[in-house]
Structures are given as structure tokens and as C-alpha cells.
């Protein structure tokens, strides 16, 4: 079996590649950097290209059995996604697994990158190729970006709000992806990838406080101020607005997984989803903080 992984050199895609290789799957990575692909594993086949230049990519789709479609949340996301689906369909690809986004009862279609993902889902449903959707919650690994804020400024800056989100570990995404790509019974299915319980912004800050052994304040959720901070730090205007709209929607409705969604995920994985407490302890153990504080944290709960 040969699987193409788009976005295969990023945080999530690289984990998917490793899970597939561990199962003996041949992997082809669509990338803009062959060096980054080879750095993941010399066993992967790197295809250097861009979905905005589809004519160059047609041959790359012709010998694959399945496509794992992961796209960056950029202004061209919808165009790139529809192009990938068209190329896969024309090449006779037998399965598409698409990394979408957690769907709540009232999905915020007005958020640009979420609206793009919903459009891509609808096109995949209608394209005639067997498919599976993976719908992740907020990535725990986003916290890697906040190291300086946590250690240097004692702030947890992700504006999760007061309703919270069921943060997910990208390793659960990767494991789920490898399972649905290599086993039967998942056609037409959608799986929510989420952690076992929701975390609000204040609860996340309290957890980091306990693990780091110092007071960590929640940065709050004044989204006008947050957007200006992103722009001050050099974020593109489209990116700052997109994320502002996304976080505002989560603050209004929350992004909390249901018991049914978590039960289906545990059944798929064969184990409970990874929890945020373990992720934070594991992450902080590689940072310059006291190991005694991390050890003391184990077994505690936060609200």
C-alpha cells in the first residue's frame, strides 16, 4: 500500500508519516522541501511541488492507493483542497482521509479556514472516492508556541475562554489516521479527535502553574487586544483576523467533545485519548524547570 501525505513535514503530518511507516506502509510526502521530508525518514518518497501548480503533480498521484489530505490554514486552502481532491479522483485513488476540524452543533462557517474545511468536506462527499473525515479539536501541541510566554512572562496566552475546549494530542490524530488508512470499515465515517475533558483558559493556566512551580496567569480573551498583539508580533493581517474569529466562536459556544464522540474515538484507537495533564508534564520536562515541581504535579486535578 502506498499513501501520499500532504503537509507531511509539519507537526501533525510528520507524526502521521511515522505511524504509517511503523505499519509497513509506503509513504510519499508532498512537500516544498525534499530535505525536510528526508529528515523525517530516508524511507519516504519526497515529491517537491505545490497544489497551486497542479499540472506538475499529476504523475505523483498516479501510483498511490490513498491520500491523507492535510492543508495549512492559508487563504488558498479551499483552492488547494479542491485541487487535491480533483487530482486524486482523476488518478483513481481508492481512499481519501481528510483532516478537517471538530464540528460543533453550530459550526462557525464564517471563520475563513473553517468555512474552507466545510467546503472541502462537501466536495469530498460528492466526489465518488471512499472517504473518512478526522475532525480534531484544538491541538495540545499549540502550546509549543507559548514557551517564551510561559517561561519568560508567566502568561498562558491562548484565549480558550470560559467554556473550554477538549484539547487533542496530534499523536492521537496520527494514530487514528494510520488506522483508518490501513483498515476497513471507515468509509463515510467521521471521527472527532479530542481529549477526555475540556480545559478553559484559566484551567490551562492553573495546570501550567502547577507543573512549572510558579504562578501562570491566563492572558484573558479580549480579542481586539489579542488581534493587535498578533499584528505587533508580525502575524499577517488575514491570519490574525481568522484566528480572532475562531477563538471568538469558541468562547461563545465552546469546543467540547461529547461522550459519544470520545467513546467512538477510544474504540477506534483501542485506548483512551491522551490527556492534557500528561502532555503538559511531558512538555515541561524538556524545558528548564525544576523536576521536583513536575513530579509533585502528577495525580492532581485542576478546574
Render pLDDT for 40-98 as a digit per residue (tens, 0 to 9): 899 999 999 999 999 999 999 999 999 999 999 999 999 999 999 999 999 999 999 99
Confidence of residue 290 (pLDDT cuts 50, 70, 90): very low
Separation of alpha carbons 257 and 179, rounded Å: 21
Has residue 245 got a pLDDT over 80? yes
Choice among 15-19, 44-48, 82-86, 241-245 with the minimum mean pLDDT: 44-48
Has residue 297 got a pLDDT over 60? no
Separation of alpha carbons 67 and 109, rounded Å: 25
Fill in the DSSP letter of residue 143.
Answer: G
- If you average pLDDT over residues 260-287, what whole number do you get? 97
190 in Cβ contact with 135 (< 8 Å): yes
Q: Give the pLDDT of residue 22.
A: 97
Q: Give the pLDDT of residue 35.
A: 85
Q: Give the pLDDT of residue 237.
A: 98
Has residue 200 got a pLDDT over 50? yes
CA proximity to 69, closest of 3, 119, 22: 3
Has residue 260 got a pLDDT over 50? yes
Q: Give the pLDDT of residue 289.
A: 55
CA proximity to 143, closest of 91, 204, 95: 204
At 26 the three-state DSSP class reads strand
Mean pLDDT value across the chain:
93
Cell digits of residue 147: 514557551
% of the chain beyond a pLDDT of 70? 95
Has residue 158 got a pLDDT over 70? yes
Q: What is the pLDDT of residues 94-112, one digit of tens each?
A: 999 999 999 988 899 999 9
Has residue 32 got a pLDDT over 90? no
100 in Cβ contact with 133 (< 8 Å): yes
28 in Cβ contact with 64 (< 8 Å): yes
CA proximity to 294, closest of 216, 213, 176: 213
Domain topology for 2-140+167-193: Rossmann fold (3.40.50)
Choice among 45-49, 131-135, 156-160, 194-198 with the minimum mean pLDDT: 45-49
Separation of alpha carbons 132 and 121, rounded Å: 10
Stronger pLDDT, 191 or 287, i.e. the higher one: 191
Has residue 293 got a pLDDT over 60? no
Domain boundaries, the chain: 2-140+167-193
Confidence of residue 33 (pLDDT cuts 50, 70, 90): confident
Crossing angle (nearest 10°) for helices 276-284 and 201-212:
40
Separation of alpha carbons 116 and 73, rounded Å: 9
CB atoms within 10 A of CB 259: 7
Separation of alpha carbons 170 and 274, rounded Å: 9
- If you average pLDDT over residues 241-255, what whole number do you get? 96
H or E stretch covering 207: helix 201-212
- If you average pLDDT over residues 221-236, what whole number do you get? 95
Confidence of residue 298 (pLDDT cuts 50, 70, 90): very low
Q: Give the pLDDT of residue 34.
A: 82
Radius of gyration of the chain from its Cα atoms, rounded to whole angstroms? 19
CB atoms within 10 A of CB 65: 15
Amino acid at each position: 500500500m502506498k499513501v501520499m501525505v500532504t503537509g507531511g513535514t509539519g507537526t501533525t503530518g510528520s507524526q502521521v508519516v511515522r505511524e504509517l511507516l511503523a505499519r509497513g506502509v509506503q509513504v510519499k510526502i508532498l512537500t516544498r522541501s525534499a530535505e525536510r521530508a528526508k529528515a523525517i525518514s530516508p524511507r519516504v518518497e519526497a515529491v517537491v511541488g505545490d497544489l497551486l501548480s497542479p499540472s506538475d503533480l499529476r504523475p505523483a498521484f498516479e501510483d498511490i492507493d490513498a491520500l491523507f489530505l492535510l492543508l495549512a490554514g492559508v487563504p488558498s486552502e479551499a483552492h488547494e483542497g479542491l485541487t487535491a481532491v480533483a487530482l486524486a479522483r482523476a488518478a483513481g485513488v481508492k481512499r481519501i482521509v481528510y483532516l478537517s476540524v471538530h464540528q460543533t452543533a453550530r459550526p462557525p462557517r464564517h471563520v475563513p479556514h473553517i468555512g474552507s474545511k466545510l467546503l472541502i468536506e462537501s466536495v469530498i462527499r460528492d466526489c465518488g472516492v471512499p472517504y473518512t473525515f478526522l475532525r480534531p479539536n484544538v491541538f495540545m501541541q499549540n502550546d509549543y508556541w507559548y514557551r517564551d510566554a510561559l517561561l519568560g512572562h508567566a502568561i498562558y496566552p491562548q484565549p480558550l475562554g470560559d467554556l473550554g475546549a477538549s484539547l487533542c494530542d496530534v499523536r492521537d490524530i496520527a494514530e487514528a489516521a494510520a488506522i483508518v488508512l490501513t483498515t476497513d470499515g471507515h468509509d463515510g465515517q467521521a471521527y472527532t479527535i479530542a481529549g477526555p475533558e475540556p480545559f478553559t483558559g484559566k484551567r490551562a493556566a492553573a495546570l501550567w502553574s502547577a507543573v512549572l512551580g510558579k504562578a501562570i496567569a491566563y492572558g484573558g480573551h479580549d480579542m481586539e487586544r489579542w488581534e493587535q498583539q498578533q499584528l505587533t508580533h508580525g502575524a499577517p493581517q488575514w491570519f490574525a483576523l481568522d484566528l480572532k474569529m475562531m477563538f471568538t466562536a469558541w468562547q461563545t459556544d465552546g469546543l467540547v467533545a461529547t461522550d459519544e464522540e470520545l467513546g467512538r474515538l477510544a474504540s477506534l484507537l483501542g485506548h483512551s485519548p491522551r490527556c492534557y495533564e500528561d502532555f503538559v508534564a511531558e512538555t515541561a520536562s524538556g524545558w528548564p524547570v525544576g523536576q521536583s515541581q513536575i513530579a509533585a504535579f502528577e495525580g492532581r486535578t485542576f478546574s
